[in-house]
């Protein structure tokens, strides 16, 4: 595993820029549904199952472009930071989610598919407080 480090853009919220360091499993570059980093996903699943901390960074290059930081903490907490890059409508911004589990994908038809889905997520404020109306987040293509 690699060690995750800072170096995010200065405009990132404090909860992102100053997040606790976790071992980095790897980075994925997803374009047209392809590019999943199977070894990095295995690393994150293993950390989740063994109670270790780890982080996986996924860059979704389709519109809208999104960078997803999926983090598993040693206490079992799963959190995600989503950075929505400006799209054609000019919408962008950060979202923070707390999730219940990483659910294994049992329908792997090719070697280039995601090994898990992040499930039962609740949106948090960027400083950790729950939003007034929590929402579940389901990844596309599930």
> Which conformational region is residue 109 in: left (phi greater than 0), alpha (psi within -120 to 50 degrees), or beta?
alpha
Separation between Cα atoms, residue 98 and residue 119, nearest integer Å: 10
The pair of structure tokens assigned to 32 is 């047209």
Residue 107's contacts (CB-CB under 8 Å, 6 or more residues apart) are none
pLDDT at position 54: 97
The yes-or-no verdict on residue 3 having pLDDT over 50 is no
Q: What is the mean predicted confidence (pLDDT) over 134-140?
A: 40
Q: What is the mean predicted confidence (pLDDT) over 95-106?
A: 90
Separation between Cα atoms, residue 46 and residue 11, nearest integer Å: 32
Are 126 and 96 a contacting pair, CB within 8 Å?
yes
The pLDDT tens digits for 39-89 are: 999 999 999 999 999 999 999 988 778 899 999 999 999 999 998 876 555
User: Residues 33-47, buried b or exposed e (16+ Cβ, 10 A)?
Assistant: eeebbeebbebbbeb
Q: Which pTM was predicted? A: 0.77
Percent of the chain with pLDDT over 90: 42
């Amino acid at each position: 595993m690699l060690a995750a480090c800072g170096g995010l853009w200065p405009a990132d919220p404090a909860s992102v820029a100053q997040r606790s360091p976790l071992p980095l499993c790897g980075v994925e570059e997803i374009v047209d549904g392809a590019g999943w980093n199977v070894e990095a996903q295995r690393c994150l699943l293993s950390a989740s199952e063994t109670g270790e901390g780890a982080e996986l960074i996924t860059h979704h290059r389709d519109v809208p472009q999104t960078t997803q930081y999926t983090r598993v903490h040693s206490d079992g907490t799963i959190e995600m930071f989503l950075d929505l890059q400006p799209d054609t409508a000019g919408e962008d911004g950060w979202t923070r989610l707390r999730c219940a589990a990483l659910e294994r994908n049992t329908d792997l038809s090719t070697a280039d598919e995601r090994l898990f889905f992040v499930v039962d997520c609740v949106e948090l404020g960027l400083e950790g407080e729950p939003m007034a109306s929590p929402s579940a987040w389901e990844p596309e293509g599930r």
